[in-house]
Amino acid sequence: MTKTISKSRLWTARVMSGIAIAFMLLDSIMKLFKPAFVVEPTVSLGFQEYHIIWLGILGLLSTVLYALPRTTILGAVMLTGYFGGVIATHIRVDAPLFSSILFPVYLAVFVWGGLWLRNEQARNLFSLQR
């Protein structure tokens, strides 16, 4: 049984998910092309330059899976793991809390919030009721 959701709820979900997807697509594609403004900060975080392409591929794969309706939950789980790695990396180098460490948390909230608002399976999975 599928419940219908309001238009405002659906559009809120689309905007939240769209922001996360747009950011991750931009971030992942930039990692594949490796311009200097991507390479320098990534290397300063302790990664080798050849790691950047792998980070881009993992981010892109996770984002595409999230964007596709049939695999959106798998994509959300993969993005959560990706964001966890970003958070751990920034904590390791004592990066600023609000600009570096919490940004992936905000993206995760957009990913899961957008999914929860539009997907009944996600709402059932994370239901606050018994």
**Are 55 and 89 in contact, with CB atoms under 8 Å apart?**
no
* pLDDT tens for the chain, residues 1 to 130: 457 889 999 999 999 999 999 999 999 999 999 999 999 999 999 999 999 999 999 999 999 999 999 999 999 999 999 999 999 999 999 988 878 899 999 999 999 999 999 998 888 887 776 6
- What's the pTM value of the predicted model, to 2 decimals? 0.91
Q: How far apart are CA 18 and CA 24, in angstroms?
A: 10
Res 5: pLDDT:
86
Q: How far apart are CA 59 and CA 62, in angstroms?
A: 5
Res 2: pLDDT:
58
CB within 8 Å of 55: residues ≥ 6 apart: 28, 31, 42, 47
**Are 113 and 67 in contact, with CB atoms under 8 Å apart?**
no
CB within 8 Å of 102: residues ≥ 6 apart: none
Res 120: pLDDT:
87
3-state secondary structure the chain: CCCCCCHHHHHHHHHHHHHHHHHHHHHHHHHHHCCHHHHHHHHHCCCCCCHHHHHHHHHHHHHHHHHCHHHHHHHHHHHHHHHHHHHHHHHHCCCCHHHHHCHHHHHHHHHHHHHHHHCHHHHHHCCCCC
